[in-house]
Amino acid sequence: MNYEAIKSIYTFEMARMRRTLMQSVISPVITTSLYFVVFGTAIGSRIPTIEGVSYGSFITPGLIMLSLLTQCIANGSIGIYFPKFTGTIYEILSAPVAMTEILVGYVGAAATKGLIIGLIILGTAYGLSLINPAFGTISIAHPVMMLLFMVLTAISFSLLGFIIGIWAKNFEQLNIVPMLVVPPLTFLGGSFYSIKMLPDFWQAVSHLNPVLYLVSGFRWSFYEVSDINPWISLAMVGLFLAICLSIVGWIFHTGYRLRN
């Protein structure tokens, strides 16, 4: 293993986050705070509890997941796309670095950033709940499971981002998934409602949405209420991770869009 190389890529990527602190950290926090204030406090106070959980508390895990997914995909894709775009990838491809080391460096940094932002948002929600109890209370019943869901999700979606970054030939393709695919999946994946509120047919359709499993399992680790058995959720996250890993394995094996 070339640990120095992994360290170099990882710290290089983390340095980029520090340079773009406003964009990377502050903007998701502000966006999420707005969600909390509008949905949680203003509208949520007029909505009855969902399965015994106040609306503000109910949406918190979904909001964290929304940010985590978007951030991991965005960071994972730009990290590898940018060197391709500027041409500096020549250096990585001509260095004594195995593809797995490149992957650990880039995906590790993207997942770390996603996790940091997820935890900041969790802290923000907790802070808001202390300031204004009308918002609801945040309690974490299974902290270990919560972290496990976050870490596995962060890694899986950073991998997805990495795949998109390698596949994308321009900035439009780069943004298509985080902009057009992730928000509908998140909104329709039970972030803001329980799918038990839906007619049977749409409940069944919702089960095709991978984000449902993430949000449901993640919410269970907070309040022990969920649309899906949490172990099934965990298995689905594991399955998604395995699919992403196989695609990356194929990319590395064939040199797809990396080496001629």
Give the binding site for another protein (CB under 8 A).
2-5, 7-9, 12, 15-16, 19, 83, 86-88, 90-98, 255, 259-260
If the CB atoms of residues 11 and 229 are measured against another protein, the closer one turns out to be: 11
248 with 163: CB under 8 angstroms?
Answer: yes
If the CB atoms of residues 133 and 255 are measured against another protein, the closer one turns out to be: 255
* 168-186: burial string, b at 16+ Cβ within 10 Å, e else: beeeeebbebbeeebeebb
If the CB atoms of residues 184 and 255 are measured against another protein, the closer one turns out to be: 255
User: At its nearest, how many Å lie between another protein and the CB of residue 67?
Assistant: 24
User: At its nearest, how many Å lie between another protein and the CB of residue 167?
Assistant: 16
Q: What Å distances lie between residue 249 and 133, 159, 162, 197, CA to CA? A: 48, 11, 12, 40
If the CB atoms of residues 15 and 180 are measured against another protein, the closer one turns out to be: 15
Task: Please enumerate, as own/partner, the contacts of 191-194 that have beta carbons within 8 Å and a separation of 24 or more.
Answer: 191/59, 191/62, 191/63, 191/65, 191/66, 191/215, 192/39, 192/59, 192/62, 193/50, 194/50, 194/51, 194/58, 194/227
Distance CA 216, CA 112 (A): 22
If the CB atoms of residues 88 and 246 are measured against another protein, the closer one turns out to be: 88
User: At its nearest, how many Å lie between another protein and the CB of residue 81?
Assistant: 13
Reference 191, options 67, 66, 35, 69; nearest CA is 66
User: At its nearest, how many Å lie between another protein and the CB of residue 112?
Assistant: 18
User: At its nearest, how many Å lie between another protein and the CB of residue 18?
Assistant: 11
User: At its nearest, how many Å lie between another protein and the CB of residue 240?
Assistant: 30
If the CB atoms of residues 20 and 229 are measured against another protein, the closer one turns out to be: 20
Token representation of residue 21 = 């602190």
Size of the chain in residues: 260
